[in-house]
Amino acid sequence: MLPDLRDLIGYVAGILTTVAFLPQVLQSWRTRNLSGVSLTMYSLFTTGVALWLGYGVLLDSWPIIIANAVTLALASMVLALKLIHK
């Protein structure tokens, strides 16, 4: 496969797994209903994404830094809403 197409798949994958959390943030913000959302999941996930961000900084990798900074912001919002409305 062409390296360009392979890179494209990686970029689309990264965009999808990052922006995926936006509809969750919007829904949770709008409905204030987070009863089905796991607090343990978002605690582990935000910690993991923060470590990915640190890994990106140590590696000086902007794609890792940018993707994980956005995901960290969105996942932290879900975690905060869960802590407020649980």
State the minimum distance, in angstroms, from the CB of residue 3 to a copy of itself.
9
> Residues touching a copy of itself: how many (CB under 8 A)?
40
Binding to a copy of itself by CB under 8 A, coded x per residue (else -) over 21-40, reads xxxx--xx--x-xxxxxx-x
- Candidates 4, 29, 44, 84; binder of a copy of itself (CB under 8 A) is 44
Give residues with Cβ within 8 angstroms of 34, minimum separation 6. 28, 78, 81, 82, 85, 86
Q: Is 4 in the site for a copy of itself (CB under 8 A)?
A: no
Q: How far apart are CA 57 and CA 65, in angstroms?
A: 6
